[in-house]
């Protein structure tokens, strides 16, 4: 299914998008990747959504990526005797390990790892930062705090610790169970929540065992500080602005977003910008102007994908939200200023032969009348390198591996086509020409650029570039050409 845009759309599934008709409508409206949020829904519900997506993929012959988003460790206060209490600015409030129900002076915080790293002067944020506490005095089992921002505190509200790196396992027991479950199902991407260090990513990669690509969610200050190492350890990145905006000043998030997107692009690794992109469309069929501008800003930055969360999972207008995102992406990419920004931010990568091949492919395509770049890829790396170039012409990523085709559905501009295993470059050119014609990218009068690696069917061998006419015909196996 050819898209008339390069930026991809990730849609979260949930109660509002739980059946074949709705999920198919979301895909046809523009969703390239479906997110399964492991924080919500039983394994049976997740299994059924996975089954429906794969059925739609077969019905439409359109590779679809499935992203399983692990919940991650949740830090929460305990329960209150009255269900909730009001905290006033300036009052003292204690967090401790006492399991007794809380009151207006204290509540349990059943996380020893927090008390192990707390120091006086550090901040604690409760309920997405609506309540802010400053640590005055602390010990191995308690923290006496001053309320700096008051409000209602109630049962099991979340706690953020922005000023410290917690000695906390990135994967809870639930996450480990969920990871194994979705890997057996056959998801394409695993999203890790609350990543703090590259070791968190390596642990998940070891458990996944190559069954899914690893995407790190950047939502903690510690992750921003260690971003370069986390990026190197990851296959992709999600800029999760929700918790990031809680733990950091909100005005710090936009420049961080821009910086992280740029680094991901330079590394040829896909990046998603997420959280509250079209939040008002949970209840309204129309977004706000500010939301549209937010989505557009991420696309101008060169992000690979933009994401819908509650808008498509629980909102009243899930299909309309996807259509809105699709329209914004098309509008931005049609703007001449978009090409100026993308090309001004392009970085010259001097590394491997493959880097040189894809850079040359983009240069040839943009300085001659080439209609499309066709790249043959086993692992997807070559296609990611082509996408990093952000060429002006479409990209057809051709692969014999279904898993590679699905994972590339997340990457900027990659239109994936399945092909059989090849033995000679001539076959690659023939298949590329056919895919370009069938997909409507080129006619028999046009030319295309083809990149591939010899020997075939091996990863990391991209070493050939050819400009070919699109009327190539199949040749006999005995033809030495």
- By annotation, the residues acting in catalysis are 35, 76, 217, 275
128: phi > 0 → left, psi -120 to 50 → alpha, else beta; which? left
**What does the DSSP assignment read for 430-471?**
HHHHHHHHHTTS--TT-EEEEEEESSTT-TT-EEEEEEEETT
Those residues whose C-beta lies under 8 Å from the C-beta of residue 374, and which sit 6 or more positions away, are 396, 398, 432, 435, 436, 448, 449, 450, 451
- Dig out the tokens for 250 from the structure: 């909100």
Q: Choose among 214, 233, 210: nearest CA to 401.
A: 210
> What are the counts of helices (DSSP H) followed by strands (DSSP E) for the chain?
17, 21
Contact 426, 474 (CB under 8 A): no
Residue 291: helix, strand or coil by DSSP?
A: helix
- The Cα 364–Cα 292 span in angstroms is 34
Contact 161, 122 (CB under 8 A): yes
Contact 12, 40 (CB under 8 A): no
DSSP state, residue 343: H
Residue 83: helix, strand or coil by DSSP?
A: coil
Those residues whose C-beta lies under 8 Å from the C-beta of residue 174, and which sit 6 or more positions away, are 38, 71
Residue 471 main-chain phi, psi, to 5 deg: -100, 20
How many C-beta neighbours within 10 Å does residue 174 have?
15
- The Cα 430–Cα 474 span in angstroms is 6
- The Cα 363–Cα 368 span in angstroms is 9
Those residues whose C-beta lies under 8 Å from the C-beta of residue 203, and which sit 6 or more positions away, are 169, 170, 171
Residue 137 main-chain phi, psi, to 5 deg: -150, 145
Question: How far is CA 457 from each of CA 213, 422, 452, 466, rounded to the nearest angstrom?
Answer: 20, 7, 10, 18
- The Cα 284–Cα 106 span in angstroms is 40
């Amino acid at each position: 299914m050819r898209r008339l845009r390069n930026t991809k759309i990730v849609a979260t599934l949930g109660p509002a998008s739980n059946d074949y008709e709705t999920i198919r409508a979301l895909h046809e409206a523009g969703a390239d990747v479906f997110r399964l949020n492991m924080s919500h829904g039983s394994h049976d519900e997740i299994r059924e959504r996975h089954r429906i997506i794969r059925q739609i993929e077969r019905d439409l012959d359109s590779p679809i990526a499935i992203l399983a988003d692990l919940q991650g460790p949740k830090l929460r206060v305990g329960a209150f005797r009255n269900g909730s209490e009001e905290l006033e600015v300036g009052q003292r409030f204690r967090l401790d390990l006492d399991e007794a129900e809380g009151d207006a002076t204290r509540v349990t915080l059943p996380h020893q790892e927090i008390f192990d790293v707390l120091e006086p002067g550090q901040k604690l944020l409760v309920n997405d930062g609506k309540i802010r506490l400053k640590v005055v005095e602390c010990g191995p089992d308690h923290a006496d705090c001053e309320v700096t921002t008051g409000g209602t505190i109630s049962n099991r509200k979340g706690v953020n610790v922005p000023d410290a790196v917690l000695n906390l396992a990135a994967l809870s027991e639930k996450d480990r169970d969920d990871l194994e479950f979705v890997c057996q199902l056959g998801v394409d991407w695993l999203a890790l929540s609350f990543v703090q260090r590259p070791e968190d990513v390596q642990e998940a990669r070891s458990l996944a065992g190559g069954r899914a690509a690893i995407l790190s969610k950047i939502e903690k200050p510690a992750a921003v500080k260690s971003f370069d190492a986390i990026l190197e350890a990851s296959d992709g990145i999600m800029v999760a602005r929700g918790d990031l905006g809680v733990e950091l000043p909100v005005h710090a998030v936009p420049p961080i977003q821009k910086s992280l997107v740029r680094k991901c692009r330079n590394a040829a690794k896909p990046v998603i910008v997420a959280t509250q992109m079209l939040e008002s469309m949970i209840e309204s069929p129309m977004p706000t102007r500010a939301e549209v501008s937010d989505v557009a800003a991420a696309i101008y930055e060169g992000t690979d994908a933009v994401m819908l969360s509650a808008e498509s999972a629980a909102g009243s207008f899930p299909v309309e939200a996807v259509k809105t995102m699709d329209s914004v992406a098309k509008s931005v990419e049609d703007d001449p200023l978009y090409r100026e920004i993308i090309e001004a931010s392009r970085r010259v990568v001097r590394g491997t032969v493959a880097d040189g091949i894809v850079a040359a492919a983009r240069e040839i395509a943009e300085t001659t009348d080439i209609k499309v770049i066709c790249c043959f890829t086993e692992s997807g790396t070559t296609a990611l390198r082509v996408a990093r170039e952000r060429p002006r012409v479409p990209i057809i990523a051709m692969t014999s591996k279904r898993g590679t085709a699905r994972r590339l559905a997340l990457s900027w501009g990659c239109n994936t086509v399945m092909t059989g295993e090849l033995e000679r470059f001539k076959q690659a050119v023939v298949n590329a020409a056919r895919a370009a014609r069938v997909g409507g990218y080129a006619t028999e009068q046009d030319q295309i650029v083809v990149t591939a690696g010899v020997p075939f069917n091996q990863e990391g061998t991209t070493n050939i570039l050819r400009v070919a006419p699109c009327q190539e015909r199949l040749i006999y196996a005995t033809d030495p050409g």
